[in-house]
């Protein structure tokens, strides 16, 4: 099993969700996060006080899939989340030791 | 014919002009008649009574509404405006500063505040005839409002006494101990606000233009009494307490400008009670003050916004709401004395001047007036008080019985009187606040510990948080 962790632009979330649904990925966890990579932040001014804001709002999508689906899911994700500009985000892939469905103790791929 | 008029008169209250004509006609006819029928005399007396009751009901309705509007300016208006401007760890402590004064000042006012401010006495403070509100009841006090119960006048003025110390909290936000804040605002009300209110509005007060002041100054709704005293005291507080830990290097962005925008708009609406209510009647003077207030606020919002757009590149929501508050402050002393277009001028200049104050001047002198209570209220109030001396006109409010009032009326001396009132309020605020802060510092210590400040005053002073995400 693989865990896919994608940090994407917040406005791309709907596209990513739709695309993943269309290839039969049912489960995912979404978190609103802040961060930055190479994308520069921006300046905010409050009554003349300037603040450099370099932690920008992003959305983190986490999903766990069977090993066999890895390439297909990553392709779908990148296509859906891409705008081609700096700030599109990153995807990280992890190995997952096990998965357990709390309701009935299903394990491994059966629990996904 | 006569009988018919009388019958109509008892069924409805005709407009004031008609009432006067009717009454004089009746009196003249009654005097001509050798024997006045007792029935007619009784009807005349009844008519007189009904007329007075109707006027009293109208004025009282507006004044009670105004009192409620002015309370709304403190909570939720100012609480939201200031609450949104601080960091999230201090949102409750900042709102508490405004809220708790609604309770604290009420107690002070009931016991002694109203008497110090509004009883006749010396030019500087009133005597104790209204101690514990003794003798303040349904009967009007003709010196202040001949057509409303004195109770209404008392509670209306209470709302001003509440918001004034609450305005200062913008300067010491995010770093003052709650106990010190309570003690400070209590002493400040007693030593600075109540005497200043007496000097300007109390019978025989030093600057009272209509009730025997030696240096008559115009302050319709509290430019000196409310905004200069609070704004200048705010500067002293900011200097005495010192900067917040981390200022100006760490980010101290407002945590929620949505709250601040709602708060500022409530202030704008509440200000109609503050200024138009200061007519102490529901007549044309109230309408005039209402219009001046609104025009001033609108012009100032635009003034600040465009100044910011030109100087800093973008027109901001925070700039817009700061501007409208600055304009409301500046038009406050002038609202019952000026025509609509001078009101626009006063507002627009306050928007620009206060913008420069909180951006350029504050940066240059590097003091931490956290929420710009001085830049907006101290400076806006001073500007408004002086400009009132320029634009006050007898066309709006004939205080000097036909003689010219402001500079544009042909009375340049008035500007000096205004400056004298401004000077006295500055001095009283500076000296009073310094002494009170020193006393508070000796008794309870004014500044929160660094650990308490870093953790946020919500947790360290009040044991709660504004936003509990896991709840």
Residue B401 resides in a domain: yes
Q: Are B172 and B237 in contact (CB under 8 A)?
A: yes
| Nearest alpha-carbon partner for B458 in B80, B95, B84 | B95
Q: Is B316 on the interface with A (CB under 8 A)?
A: yes
**Closest alpha carbon within chain A to B313:** A45
- Contacts of residue A44 in chain B, CB cutoff 8 Å? 253
- Contacts of residue A47 in chain B, CB cutoff 8 Å? 318-319, 322, 358-359, 372
- pLDDT digit string (tens) for chain A, length 112 residues: 999 999 999 999 999 999 999 999 988 999 999 988 877 788 899 998 888 888 888 999 999 999 999 999 999 999 999 999 888 999 999 999 999 999 999 999 999 8
Confidence (pTM): 0.86
Examine the domain organization and report whether B324 and B436 are in the same domain.
yes
Under an 8 A CB cutoff, do A46 and B314 touch? no
Examine the domain organization and report whether B116 and B25 are in the same domain.
no
Examine the domain organization and report whether B156 and B30 are in the same domain.
no
Examine the domain organization and report whether B30 and B105 are in the same domain.
no
Examine the domain organization and report whether B90 and B32 are in the same domain.
no
Q: Is A55 on the interface with B (CB under 8 A)?
A: no
Structural domain range at position B150 = 62-462
Residue B124 resides in a domain: yes
| Residue the block writes with tokens 């006494």 | B161
Question: pLDDT digits over B396-438, tens only?
Answer: 999 999 999 999 999 999 999 999 999 999 999 999 999 999 9
- Contacts of residue B363 in chain A, CB cutoff 8 Å? 48
Domain count, chain B: 2
Question: pLDDT digits over B175-203, tens only?
Answer: 999 999 999 999 999 999 999 999 999 99
Examine the domain organization and report whether B23 and B81 are in the same domain.
no
Under an 8 A CB cutoff, do A46 and B372 touch? no
CATH number for A17: 3.30.70.120
Under an 8 A CB cutoff, do B358 and A48 touch? yes
Tokens of A58: 């992003």
At residue B446, the 3 state secondary structure works out as: coil
Structural domain range at position A107 = 2-111
Residue B42 resides in a domain: no
CATH number for B94: 1.10.3430.10
Examine the domain organization and report whether B122 and B32 are in the same domain.
no
Residue B46 resides in a domain: no
Residue B305 resides in a domain: yes
Residue B467 resides in a domain: no
Examine the domain organization and report whether B174 and B300 are in the same domain.
yes
pLDDT at B136 over 90: yes
Examine the domain organization and report whether B423 and B343 are in the same domain.
yes
Examine the domain organization and report whether B32 and B127 are in the same domain.
no
Residue B53 resides in a domain: no
Examine the domain organization and report whether B229 and B333 are in the same domain.
yes
Under an 8 A CB cutoff, do A45 and B254 touch? no
Tokens of B101: 């004064």
Residue B44 resides in a domain: no
Could you tell me if the ipTM is greater than 0.90?
Answer: no
Q: Are B336 and B275 in contact (CB under 8 A)?
A: yes
Domain count, chain A: 1
Examine the domain organization and report whether B26 and B173 are in the same domain.
no
Question: Quick one: how far is CA A53 from the chain centroid?
Answer: 22
**Closest alpha carbon within chain A to B312:** A48
């Amino acid at each position: 099993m693989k865990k896919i962790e994608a940090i994407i632009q917040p406005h791309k979330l709907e596209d990513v969700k739709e695309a993943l649904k269309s290839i039969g990925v049912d489960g995912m966890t979404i978190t609103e996060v802040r961060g930055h990579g190479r994308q520069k932040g921006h300046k905010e001014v409050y009554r003349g006080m300037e603040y450099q804001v370099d932690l920008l709002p992003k959305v983190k999508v986490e999903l766990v899939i069977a090993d066999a689906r890895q390439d297909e899911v990553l392709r779908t994700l990148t296509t859906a989340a891409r705008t081609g500009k700096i700030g599109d985000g990153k995807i990280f892939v992890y190995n997952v030791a096990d998965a357990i469905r709390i309701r009935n103790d299903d394990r491994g791929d059966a629990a996904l | 014919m006569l009988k018919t008029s009388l019958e109509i008169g008892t069924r409805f209250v005709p407009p004031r002009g008609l009432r006067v004509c009717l009454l004089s006609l009746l009196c003249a006819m009654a005097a001509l008649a050798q024997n006045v029928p007792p029935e007619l005399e009784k009807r005349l007396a009844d008519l007189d009574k009904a007329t007075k009751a109707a006027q009293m009901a109208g004025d009282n309705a507006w004044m009670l509404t105004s009192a409620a509007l002015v309370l709304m300016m403190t909570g939720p208006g100012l609480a939201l405006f200031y609450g949104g401007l601080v960091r999230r760890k201090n949102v409750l402590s900042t709102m508490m500063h405004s809220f708790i004064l609604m309770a604290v000042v009420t107690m002070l006012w009931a016991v002694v505040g109203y008497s110090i401010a509004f009883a006749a006495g010396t030019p500087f403070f009133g005597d104790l005839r209204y101690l514990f509100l003794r003798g303040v009841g349904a009967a009007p006090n003709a010196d202040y409002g001949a057509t409303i119960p004195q109770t209404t006048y008392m509670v209306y003025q209470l709302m001003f006494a509440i918001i004034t110390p609450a305005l200062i909290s913008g300067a010491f936000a995010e770093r003052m101990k709650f106990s010190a804040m309570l003690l400070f605002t209590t002493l400040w009300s007693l030593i600075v606000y109540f005497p200043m209110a007496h000097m300007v509005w109390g019978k025989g007060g030093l600057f009272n233009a209509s009730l025997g002041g030696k240096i008559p100054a115009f302050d319709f709704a509290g430019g000196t009494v409310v905004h200069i005293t609070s704004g200048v005291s705010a500067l002293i507080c900011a200097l005495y307490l010192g900067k917040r830990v981390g200022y100006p290097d760490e980010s101290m962005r407002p945590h929620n400008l949505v709250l601040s925008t709602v708060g500022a708009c409530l202030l704008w609406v509440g200000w109609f009670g503050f200024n138009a209510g200061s007519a102490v009647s529901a007549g044309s003077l109230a309408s005039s003050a209402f219009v001046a207030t609104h025009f001033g606020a609108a012009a100032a919002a635009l003034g600040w916004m465009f100044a910011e757009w030109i100087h800093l590149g973008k027109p901001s929501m925070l700039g817009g709401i700061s501007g409208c508050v600055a304009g409301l402050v500046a038009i406050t002393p002038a609202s019952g004395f000026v025509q609509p277009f001078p009101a626009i001028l006063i507002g627009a200049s306050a928007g620009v001047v206060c913008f420069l104050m909180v951006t350029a001047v504050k940066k240059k002198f590097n003091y931490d007036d956290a929420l710009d209570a001085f830049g907006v209220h101290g400076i806006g109030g001073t500007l408004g008080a002086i400009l009132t001396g320029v634009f006050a006109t007898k066309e709006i409010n004939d205080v000097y019985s036909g003689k010219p009032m402001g500079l544009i009326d042909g009375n340049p001396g008035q500007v000096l009187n205004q400056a004298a009132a401004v000077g006295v309020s500055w001095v009283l605020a500076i000296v009073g606040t310094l002494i009170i802060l020193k006393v508070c510092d000796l008794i309870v210590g004014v500044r929160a510990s660094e650990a308490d400040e870093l953790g946020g005053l919500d947790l360290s002073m009040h044991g709660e948080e504004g936003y509990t995400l896991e709840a």
